A and B are shown apart, each in its own frame.
Chain A
Amino acid sequence: MFTMLPLLVLVPDTQRGLGYSNRPALSTPLRTAKIPHTRNEKVYFFPPKTKLIPLTTRRGTIMFFKKNEKSPGVEKLKSKESDIQMAESSEEFTRAIKNRLNNSSDVVVIKVRPDLTIIYIEALIETSMLNRDIIGQLNEESVAPSTVESQMNSGDVQQITSLKEAVFSLLGGAVLIHVEGFAPVVSVMIPTTDRRSLAKPENESIVIGPQLGFNESMATNISLVRRYLVNPDLTTVSMTRGEQTRTAISIMYINGIASDEMVETVKQRISNISVDGIMDSSVLMQLIEDNSMSIFPLMVLTERPDRACSWLLNGKIIIIVDGSSLVIGCPQSFIEYFQSMEDQNVKWQVASFFRLLRMIAMLLSVFFTAIYVASLTYHYEIIPQPLLIPLSESRSRVPFPPIIEALLLEFIIELLREAGARLPTKVGQTMGIVGGIVIGTAAVEAGFTSNILIIIVALGALASFTTPNFMMGNVIRILRFPIIILAGFWGFYGTMFAFCFLLIHLLRQSSLGSPFLAPFYPLRFRDWGNSVVRLPLNLTSKRPYQTRPLNSKKYDSKK
């Protein structure tokens, strides 16, 4: 069992009470067999070059870990420092540290006394704490690292013996105190704690419910979750990934509810990735999804702590990434993308109506324009007589075939949306409205498109925005294009081809090995109560099958 102290010092605030230290952070049998990891050789930071390992789960979906055979160069470069012994002379030690940090100008070296050298990186530490808690505490007796250690009253004090560890603790916000004549240095963690204050969730805003979102600090995020779930079984497992960024990652789940197998799978997948940097949890999500080739997101992100906690209660696993205000939840099924957190907070009839509405909106958004194109291009027979004249009159001035007309208009809508997203909020809104009205009206007047198509495309666009999940909303909008093209080439046959293809594709997907189309296939009527519609709470007292919970009873429905 090896501990990963250097990793822990990166997240000093959360180190206590989270159960890091006695849990094996990485427990891949593959690696433990190959690499010795005694205390003296705390060399191991990066997963070794990993091959694609098919992992078979109980459900039988074979999952692949992706893209693991990367950047051997980086590893070689880094491994050179692993065995360097630290110098006893402070001169040499300072030089070694500076060398390793490429003589960066923000490395500060202070000689407090002839025998005591303090090294830190300027912006990473709290200067007031340095003066009060470190320099102020050092006194005459501190002649050895152990005595220095005992004088410090800051929490995270430890002795470090390897240069590499020293460098990384420095980077994590530590002050190194070197005592002349001793190889081990004392590291005291006093990192700066500047972070955004808690704010409203912007993208998943709801009317009824808590108005609190995650922020970019993992410590804050974990504390938010812990405040919702005061439960000793809430377990956190920490890891660090990213060769350049060393991003801290925490997996959280409720022990005794979440499926052990899934927890193991998540751990294994995270430990198998090897990238140079994880800037956001969305990147991590793409790396650990079951199928990276699918256009559909197979895991889900949220910025709402209440949502993350309700997932945990359903037996899901959440992954928090330091520096990201979005939390990954898995496993996820297709239909869950059309649920909003608000559904739990309003009456069940209302929530059920909205859920059905969103499902219809999704189908409408994906297929409506395609059906228009197909019927006007090939199947004019199906147009009812009352619609025939308005349709053909509006089409008669348009010089393009329906497919070009539709693609053009869809393209304009996407342009407006994208432009709106890139511009500052206020400008974006104005532009959306002005652009929509002006371009729409002008396009009809100019005979570029028919006014009926404008209605259809606008309806489709509107419908796509009802999807509560941003990622899924994007997918739905993009899916329209190939389907319109298919409809433009082969009418209903093309549309149906697209439908069947999507159906088979979705059937083949899985999230953490659990089927993506649950609860439809495999059929679990019990779970329809809280997925297709939302039944009253006393009827939905069981956790969904999809997460394979160890304990499926959520609460006693009788009481």
Chain B
Amino acid sequence: MKVSIYPEQHHLVNAFLVMFIIHSAQLGVGVQGFQRIIYMEAKHDAWMSVLLSGGIASIIGFIMVKTLQSYESADLYGIQRDVYGKWIGTFLNLVYVSYCLGAFLVIIRNYIEVLQAWVFPEVPTWFLALTLMLLVLYGALGGFRIIVGVSFFSVFLALWLLGLLSYPLQYINWQNIMPMFEANTMDILKGTYAMTFTVIGFELMYSYYPYIKEKQKTTRYMQIGLAYTTFLYLAVMLVSLGYFSGGQLERTIWATLSLFKIVRLPFIERFEYVAITFWMLIILPNLMLYIWSASRGVTRIFQWKEKTFIWIFSIFLFAAIQFFVTREQINALSDLFGKVSFYVVYCYPIVLYIFVLIKKKVVRKGNAT
């Protein structure tokens, strides 16, 4: 297996699209109800946790790009192979592949749960999974550029949802977020930890980095994407804190969707029904990117065709979705995944970066002697 890969020119995407990929991969099911879990830890200072996690994400993002830039055009799979050698490298690659598949599973199952809880309690899980899978397959089989296209439109077409935040703004009571700094540092850190699942998505940079055209500009656009996400989360969090009272927030599972409940236009009201179904477009790039990354991984290891793996994985995942039926099971899955993703996304990149640095040093020394 080669460390660096050079995809053909026509598979590459412009660096500035990275901000769309980053943002659309981060925004997903997590944002529908992240207020509650963070509020439980950090109370009305929850917005600080959001800000902090945004900051951490941008640091980690910086480290990731640094790691990737120490090679010419390599992805995580190539780097791990290079750093750890054949066996450990392949093992870690497989771990990363299963992480991606896990993310896919969590996202799709959580979205189906929202659909069933709010809109269609009677439509079976397998059907919703099948239709979503169909869209994911149709997009992902089109290749990376198509996925980026979906990402772009998902960000672009969802911009208007941001404008709907003005409705809850009318009911907002800023007193709710006072007094500031009541939560101690530990609580805020716990809140940040609880937010992991909402923030992840930018780690996919590891797998699509070789596909970026102007690689030296990656950091800039990645940071813009991350900053926009943080801004969005902060805005949603602040509005939620002001709109709901504390006790109310603790009881509201999908606070973001509840915010849409009061939107009332002359021809349509109860906007959450529109928002929930529209969320399909927001999670599609998530799903596509994760399944694509997973199939990239195995393609790199086994040198088979990428598309074959997309098919295999989707059939496998479709079967896996059926095992999660109750809310408890879904929550358990999400919690477990949240923990795993904390280590994979927040801790591992630092470790990898250190290993890469050491490796480079050793190689240089080796060359010198």
Contact = CB atoms under 8 A, between A and B. Distances in A.
Interface string A343-382: 0000000000000000000000000000000000011011
A46 interface: no
A64 B362 CA distance: 50
Interface string A478-496: 0000000000001111011
Contact of A58 (B10, B138, B146, B269): B10
B150 A504 contact: yes
A501 interface: yes
Contacts, number: 98
Contacts of B10: 56-61
B123 A382 contact: no
A521 B24 CA distance: 15
Given A56-B10, A384-B264, A507 B149 contact: yes
Given A60-B145, A495-B277, A497-B280, A387 B267 contact: yes
Interface residues of A, number: 33
A505 interface: yes
B70 interface: no
The 10 closest A-B pairs by CB, nearest first: A60-B10, A492-B277, A507-B149, A496-B277, A521-B149, A504-B139, A382-B270, A508-B142, A381-B270, A384-B269
Contacts of A507: 139, 142, 146, 149-150, 153
B315 interface: no
A505 B138 CA distance: 8
A491 B123 CA distance: 11
A493 B115 contact: yes
Contacts of A503: 150, 153, 281
Contact of A508 (B115, B131, B135, B146): B146
B173 interface: no
B268 A384 contact: yes
23 contacts: A58-B9, A58-B10, A60-B11, A61-B10, A379-B119, A382-B269, A383-B269, A384-B264, A492-B119, A493-B115, A493-B120, A493-B128, A496-B280, A500-B135, A503-B150, A504-B142, A504-B150, A507-B149, A507-B153, A508-B142, A520-B153, A520-B156, A523-B152
Given A384-B269, A492-B273, A508-B142, A497 B153 contact: no
Interface of B: 8-11, 14, 16-17, 115, 119-120, 123, 128, 131, 134-135, 138-139, 142-143, 145-146, 149-150, 152-153, 156, 264-271, 273-274, 277-278, 280-281, 284
A152 B156 CA distance: 69
Contacts of A491: 119-120, 277
Contacts of A501: 134-135, 138
A490 B124 CA distance: 12
Nearest to B20: A523
A492 B274 contact: yes
Contacts of B9: 58, 60
Contacts of B269: 382-384
A499 interface: yes
A517 interface: yes
Contact residues of B: prevailing secondary structure? helix
B150 A496 contact: no
A522 interface: yes
Interface in A429-471: none
A60 B8 contact: yes
Given A60-B11, A382-B271, A500-B135, 6 more contacts: A379-B273, A490-B120, A492-B277, A493-B119, A501-B135, A504-B146
Contacts of A379: 119, 270, 273
A85 to B, nearest CB: 51
Contacts of B135: 497, 500-501, 504
B123 to A, nearest CB: 7
Nearest to A504: B139
Nearest to A384: B269
B307 to A, nearest CB: 13
A521 B277 contact: no
B369 to A, nearest CB: 44
A490 B123 CA distance: 9
Contacts of A60: 8-11, 143, 145
A59 B11 CA distance: 8
A314 B149 CA distance: 25
A428 B265 CA distance: 40
Contacts of B134: 501
Given A60-B8, A504-B135, A382 B119 contact: no
Contacts of B153: 503, 507, 520-521
B146 A382 contact: no
Contact of B131 (A378, A497, A517): A497
A517 B146 CA distance: 11
Given A382-B268, A493-B120, A500 B149 contact: no
A56 B123 CA distance: 43
Nearest to B261: A381
Nearest to B10: A60
B312 to A, nearest CB: 21
Nearest to A513: B10
